[in-house]
Every structure is written in C-alpha cells, then in structure tokens.
Chain A
Amino acid sequence: HREPPPGTEAYIPQRFPDNRIVSSKYTFWNFVPKNLFEQFRRIANFYFLIIFLVQLIIDTPTSPVTSGLPLLFVITVTAIKQGYEDWLRHKADNAMNQCPVHFIQHGKLVRKQSRKLRVGDIVMVKEDETFPCDLIFLSSSRGDGTCFVTTASLDGESSHKTYYAVQDTKAFHNEQEIDALHATIECEQPQPDLYKFVGRINVYHDRNEPTARPLGSENLLLRGATLKNTEKIFGVAIYTGMETKMALNYQAKSQKRSAVEKSMNVFLIVYLCILISKALINTVLKYVWQSEPFRDEPWYNQKTEPERKRNLFLRAFTDFLAFMVLFNYIIPVSMYVTVEMQKFLGSYFLTWDEEMFDEDTGEGPLVNTSDLNEELGQIEYVFTDKTGTLTENNMEFVECCIEGHVYVPHVICNGQYIFKEELFFRALCLCHTVQVKDDDSVDGLKKNQLSRRSCIYISSSPDEVALVEGIQRYVLGYTYLRLKDNFMEILNRENNLEKFELLEVLSFDSVRRRMSVIVKSSTGDIFLFCKGADSSIFPRVKEGKIDQIRSRVERNAVEGLRTLCVAYKKLTAEEYSNAQKLLQNAKLALQDREKKLAEVYEKIERDFILLGATAVEDRLQEKAADTIEALQKAGIKVWVLTGDKMETAAATCYACKLFRRNTQILELTTKKIEEQSLHDVLFDLSKTVLRHNGSLTRDTFSGLSTDMQDYGLIIDGAALSLIMKPRQDGSSANYRELFLEICRNCSAVLCCRMAPLQKAQIVKLIKLSKEHPITLAIGDGANDVSMILEAHVGIIGKEGRQAARNSDYAIPKFKHLKKMLLVHGHFYYVRISELVQYFFYKNVCFIFPQFLYQFFCGFSQQTLYDTAYLTLYNISFTSLPILLYGLMEQHVSADTLKREPSLYRDVAKNALLRWRAFIYWTFLGVFDAVVFFFGAYFLFDNTVVTSNGQMFGNWTFGTLVFTVLVFTVTLKLALDTHYWTWINHFMIWGSLVFYIIFSLLWGGIIWPFLNYQRMYYVFMQMLSSGPAWLGIILLITVSLLPDVLKKVLCRQVFRGTARTPELKSLSFIPSHFTA
C-alpha cells in the first residue's frame, strides 16, 4: 500500500523521518560545548568571558579567579538548571519513543516501539491510548466510522471531538482486511496548524480507476490526542516524528521582553561607556604622569627587560585592558542571576495567592513565563474580550421571536403552534453542531429517550447549548436526541421520533458569522436552515417579517442579550444536487480550499425566508464592574474587543461601568461613515475630544477623574479596517494617527464586530504607537489567542483551555485581574526596579574608590581591595539581602494598593527607572564612594591610627574602605526596606555578620596554598584600632545621611506633589487613611 501502482503521476520517493520525537536540546556528548555556546551568546556572559580571557592573557591587577569564579558559578548554575530541564525532556522523549505501538505487518498485528514507526504504516490504536503519530483515520470499531477523541494534551480542550473515517475504508474491520487496502495519499507538507489539513486519498479497487476522496482535518488523528469511547481504530501514519503537528507546535513563542529589561540594558550600556571612559582616562593620565622617567621607573621599582622592550602602543593597549579588568565589576555578573532568580521565585507569590484561587473551578493563577512579572505593574492598556471574560459565558435562553411574536419560556408551551413556529423550533434543533455526550454505554442513549433532561449537550459554542437546552426545557416539544448514521433524531412535542437526514453542514466561520445545515425530512423535503448574526442573515432574506424581527433583535441587543436570527429555505432536489456538487468540488480542492468553500457557501446561502430570532442572556462575571472601575482609576485604559454586535456590547459596557452615565459616547461605525466620509468623521471626533484635552490631562493626574468629562469611543470592525487599510496616496498613516489621537483621549473604547485577527491588529496598532505603551490582552477563547500573543502580557481567563499555553499568565476569573495588576504587578515592578538600581548603585560604590585610588598609586592598576573581597562582594556579601528584597518588599501594604487603585499611576511609564532616578542612584553611589575613599584617605594621611604607634599598610586601607562599603550598602537597603519579616532581619544582619566572620577567618590563618599572605591579620589589626572604628562609624553615617535626608524631606515637604513617585505613594496614603 505504500507504492502507487504504475501509471499514476510520477512518484518521487521522499525521505520521511522516523517517529522519534526529539524535544531535548542536548545529547550527553554535546551538552557541554552546546550549552556553553548557548550561554555565551548572551551579551553579558560573553562580556565576562572576554574579561576573564583578558585576565588570563595579559598581566592584570586582579587574578583571573576574581572574574572566573563568579562566571563559573553563574554558568554552572544555569547549566545545571538547563541540564536538568533537558534531562526531564529526554526522559519524556524516551518514554514516548519507546511506548509500544500495534501495527499491521502482512496482515498480522505486531507490537513495536513507537520510534520504529514509518510513514505509510497502518497502526491500530485502542481506547484510551494516545495516537503515536498523525494518522489518517481509516476505520473504527464503531459501525458508523466515527471515533471520539480528546485533544486535551494538544490544545487543552477536554471535550470529545468526533472524527470521521474515510468513507471507502471504514468497512475494513480487521487486520487482514486492512492489509489488503491499496491506496495512495496525497497531502500537504507538514504544517503546524492543528485545525487545518488538506489531502486526498486514492483508493484502488483491483484494476479499476481509483476513487479519490478528500481528506480534511476531520480525518486526521493528531499525535498526542487520546482515543475515547471507541474500542479501536485503524489509521495510516502520514506525519511522523518531528513532522507531526504536535512536534511542529513545540516551537517556542517569540520572546517578549519587559520594559525593565530594556531599561536595564540601556543602563548597562551607559555603564559600559562609563567603564570604557574610566579606563581611557586612567590610561591617558598614566602616560602623562609617566612621561617623566623617574616616575615611570624609579630606581626602587625597575621594570623587567621584556616589559621595557615592549612597543609603546601595545603597552598602552595592555594598560587599557588592565584598567578595564580593574573596573569591570561595575557591571556585575551576579545581577543577571539575581534578576532571574527574583523573577522565577517571585512568580510563585502569584500562584500562591489564595485570594486569586477560584473555589468553583479549583484553579489558581498560572504563570507561564516569569519574564514579564514586572510588566504587570506597567500596564497602560487592557484589551479584554467580552464573552466569557467580562461575562460568565454561561448562556441562558431568554426568549425567541417568531414571526414578530415574542415567546418567553414557560409561556410558549401552551397553545397550538402554527407551521412557522414548528419550523422554527425544528430549525433550532437541527441547525447546530451540538453533540450529545454519550457515556460509554449504549444505555445512555436509552436513558435519553426515557428521561429527556438527563442528557448533556456539548458544543464549542455555549449559545448553541443554551438554545438546544432551552428548546428542550421550556418549549417541551422538541428535543434533540442524537446524530446517528447521518440522521438527526429529534423528539417532537408529541414525543414522536422525527428523523432528518443530515445532508450537509455549512459550518460556522467568523467571516460569514452564520452556519447552515441541509437536511432531508422523512417526507423527502429538503430544507436548508441557517442561523447567524442578524447582519449576516438579513441581507440574505427575501421574505418574512423582517422589520418586526429586526426591531425586536435591536431591542434585545440594547438590553445586552445575545441575539441570533434563524432563517430557512426549501430546496428542490435539483438545487440540492447542484449545491452538493459545488460543495464536493470545493472540498476536494487541494489548494485554496477555504476560499472556494466560502464562495460556494455564499452561493448556497441566499434567498432565505426569515423565521425569527432568539435571545440568550450572558450574565456579567462577578465584580467585573468593580474591576473595570479600579483599572480605570489606576490610569489603565480598558478596551473591550468583541465580535458581538454594537448594541449588545455597549449594553455590557454600561453594565460593567466601562461607560458611565456621564460618558460622552463617540461613535465611529459603519453607519456613521456611510453618512459622512471617514475623513470628516475622524476630524469631527478629534475636534470634540481635543477641545477638552487640556482639562482632561490635568484632571487625570489629580487622580479624581470621576466627575470630569470623559469620552467613550465605539468603533466597529468595518470602520477599523477602513482606518487600517493602507492607501495609495499614503494618507492612511494620517488616519491612523488621528484615530490613535482620539483613542488616547478616550477613557474607554469599545470595538465591536471584530474578527480575531482585527483584535490582534488593534493591539499591535496601540503597541507600536509612538509612546510604546505596555498592553495586556485578556481573553478566554481561541479567538483571543492572536491578540494575546500580540500583547505584551497575555492573560487567559476561564475558558481558556485551548490557548492557555499561549498566554503568559492565566487567571481563573476576570476579577482577579485587579489584584494581579494593582497589587502583584505593582509589587513586582517596585521590587525589580529597586533591585536593578540598587545593583548598579552598590557596584558604583564598590568600584569608584578603586578608580580614585589610581590617582594615588601612579595609575598602576593597583587594586584597593583584596582578591577575596573583589570576588565575594557581589556573590555573597551583598547578594542575598537584595534578592530577598526583590522577593518580599511591600512598600505599601497589599490592602492599600487594592483599595487605592490610583497608586498604580505612581509607577506608570517605568517611573522608577527613568533617567532621573537612575542619575540619582548613580550620584548617590559616586557620593558614597567619594566619602568612603576620601574619608579613609584623610584618616590615613600621614598619620598614625593605632594606639601602639605601629603603621597600617595599603591592605588595611582597602579593608577599611571595604568594610564601610559593605555596611553602607547593606544598611542603605535596610533603610529602603518597608516590609520587614524575620527573614529580612536574618538576611541583612546575617550578611554583615557573615562578612565579619569571613574577614576574621580570611585574615586569621596563613593560607597554605596561596602565594601571598597580604591579608594576614589585617582585619583584626584594623578592629583593634580605635580611630578605625570611629572612622567606620563616621563614614557610614555620612554616606547614609543624604539618602535619609532626601527621603524625610520628600515625605515632609513635597507631600502630595512628590517628585519621586515611590515617595509620593508613601506620602499619599495618610491623607486617605488618617482622615
């Protein structure tokens, strides 16, 4: 069955991969080189490697250990982490590759390891087994050639989906029969889209012409999915190993980078420039200073012969490199590790939050990427889906309107139905893709028949379930039973079984916004039932009480109900066979199948007779209004993006307080554009908005925006596409700018009638606008995935099984967004920004004295501190307190943040990492460094600092500076800490104690394997000197003084109008809570 018979098209043997899945990155052999390569591709690691190599090659002031050891530590930790992850992947791969698979060889069932599977092999899969590769479904043990599959591991949807065997092969039920099958399959090259597949099977019966059958995604069983409710199936492998759709979907999503990371990189570059300029200044000064030979080479300090002979430029270059090495600690290795650990560990605080745990579903928040934690504190735009996100997505059938008469549940059931009504209910029972959940046994079906209410309907659309259930429950006449052998069985109100042959399903898509079925009744009449959005039905209706129904639909929409229109048409046998032919051709097409299908649908779905409309209510999620209000107070602009119609969506927006009563609504809809040109509408709107612009911005900052004039914009998909459409004359950019300008001045925007891709377009438009705001998209369905992927932070709410993997964060309910952004996001941001600033600060403090010392040691690159101190400063003496701060800090209590959403504005737009803050920290660092160095300098300058008259040397000098440094830097952090727990106390004081103990130990012994003993007893000698103690205390006090003063002054004087947002927030609270 693998080779085609002679005479078919030229067959080019193709190399197919075997069925091995390789998700691991490394093998045992290439782990070390490949992992190192990967790691050194990071700029920072590469920089440290270069520094390390320079230290190895040239004669540098510090030993290679000082940078080698931290680098080794970082690299090892990362390698262990990645190695462990890869080991897990290997294990998973092996388990998957070695699991046994039944497949058929020469008519017999053989058990083999999964990895030995090849394309073309026929595989047998039993119930509850997962498919070993992508299979074309040939036959199943179920007579109708269907099987049920759950794709929970692929897209997270746990419902059972029905797949269909190829018509011509579904009769083969055992190994021998299936082995006799002779067929070729043509299919597209492997593609990652799980829901698309186009192929063709040619089945050869003896010597006859082959029969060609189209293959679609309904015939393709995907690797990773599990067979359910079906005893066994046979399938032929078409994509194996790394070509399966599952494997193709493994590809990582594009990396999202946070604003903090970007700032951090900018600061790094600034520091790199500082570093280089420092090294350059020192090199130049060194050669100026050395120009007098007695300075370059005094009699007491001669150079070696090779040194003397070295070329001047080479010497200068070496000196430059040596200075670089000396000052390289200004860019700390450990910062990257700390930031990564902070993010990774910090994300657990989100998942552990009990308040965000949802009792109903038993789920808490999920963090899929910890890289973006701090972005949650920077959100400026929230794009939210309506259905299922703002609303419960728990539909309830409210009413239906047939021929202009309104029927409310419980009332409908009495009286006789006229023909149209009967047809309407039948239409609702037939025109859907609802499945009846059938629990293992055949008894289930019987039970259904006996007691109508026990059946469970499953559908991808909750509306359909609501409709079918509503009809069953309230109309008491029509119950959809099941689909059997292409016959839809319904019970009518006389409890008689009616059978309709299901001829075609013109399935739903978001462009058409409708679906149709073609059924043949037992009397032989062929009907086409269509159900869809009013906008897509009305234009296709040729008769019916359009006006009455339309007005009803519009009324319902205003009340926030979801409406659907139902229409039908009767087909003659001829019309049907035409339609069938067209459909068959389109389905068989290998290329552009969708496009062709759409054309055919367009031809078939016309000239309807309107039956009526339905209304379904979708309740708001709990606290949705409260959440939206809080987000708006926090200065976040909330946009609702929905596929719903304008009136429904607007009603929801009012209900959830996105629009308030005093909100002036601006409309940018197709209707308006029809009246005026797009150009005029846009300019009018912008004029309206900008008139109040001045007062608006001022009020926004006062934090009390409730009583100002605010605007809400409503735009629909068609208008949006007009705005987005690129024009030849280039004026589209103009429209876009204008549109953005309007949006910027609106507190709330509602985009209705949006296609999924348009949602992503909107997000992209805002994201790339000139302020580069940080966006968050929240949605629960597959149609929100594109927008979630596009936004900076994606969140998936309740029903997000399908795309939960695509989101960065998942929360159970919309109301949790409030805490996630206002509390966790705020904290994450404050923590990481302090962490980054503090890291730079402490390294300026660390290295700047070193720089100053060069002026006093003849620019000879002499280090101020001992090697051990240079190495351990960032690794151990000052690392843990800041990490803990990064995890635990709560500058304001969580409750306060929740109560006062306006505090969120304080950190908006990366406020704590602006240049102002950065320069403040840097200058603080420089100031402290100057205090340390010159304090020690004046203390030591040509005088005695011991009470026994003995003198201290350069190492004592350095140790004194270092001691002051460690204490100052740690105490500075203690001053910044607002949330103290015993761990904070332990870490901060523990670090200082550790430093002292280490120094005592380091200087306490003649270390046997070191070739220098310069630190021997230096620390003890220093501590035995009174002036050194006094000096240390004095210098610590002086270095901390300005920061303390600044904090107190800001709090006292600039109360309310604080320059520094962090402090504003501190001062802001009392005014609210002492009142």
Chain B
Amino acid sequence: MAEVNETDQTPNLGDSTTPSQPKPEQITTTNVAVPIPDVGPQLQVVVDEFILKNGSSDEEVRTAARNDLRDFIEREEIGITTLLVVVKYAHEFKNADLLDAFCERVADLIKDKKVVGVREIFGIVNDFTPEEEHALRDEHPWAFED
C-alpha cells in the first residue's frame, strides 16, 4: 500500500474541517502524487485533483470538485478491482468525501441485482455452508427468484 508522509499530507486529504487554501508553492510539495497501486494514471490525476480542490475554503470549488469526480466515475465506468483499491485507500486515509463518491459507484453496481449477480460482479466467493444457505434461502426465498 502507498506510503504517506502524514505530516505533509493530512491537511490536503480532503478533511473538510481544515479548508485552508494551499499556497501555490505548497501545492507541489504537500500534494505530492501518492500513487494508488494498480490504477491507471488518469484516475490518479483525477483523485489528486479532487483532493486538492476539496481542500479549498471556497464552497463552490469543493462542490465543483465533487461533481467533477462523480462525472468522471460515471463516464469511465471504473472497474471493480480499481474501485476496491480506491475505496480502501480513501477509507485508510480517512478521506470521507473521496470515499463517499466511490461508495456511490459501488452502490449503483449493487442496485437491482440478485445475489448471484452481485457475487459475479464483485468476484465474491460464497462462504456460507450449504446448510446455512439453505436456512437463509428458506427465510428469504425471494432473493433467489428469477
């Protein structure tokens, strides 16, 4: 997982309680691109830009940043493996806004799907025993209906 120089990074990790506008000289030093492993350079750039703008004291800039990020996520149809990495990264570095935006994407992928569909999309292995699943199925047969 990416390493972070926390003393430099913390103010710029989208913490909306410290919305200080970074001075131009600081941008290059405190907002060093922290490579998120296994994601394309394009996403990295978008995330970094979001983090930067989200630290702004101007509400409009922050709103625009969030909208841009949402648009990007929808347009690019971010893949499952990438999504997982970004979500974990956002959670680990306590970037609530970044996490929120990507959780929306995950939620969209879950909506209107049956159990089998969700498992397939996320590559999740069913770890219920046949007996456990049978019990669940008996309680909620509708989840498995076609």
Q: Do A and B come from one complex?
A: no
User: Which B residues have a C-beta under 8 Å from some C-beta of A?
Assistant: none
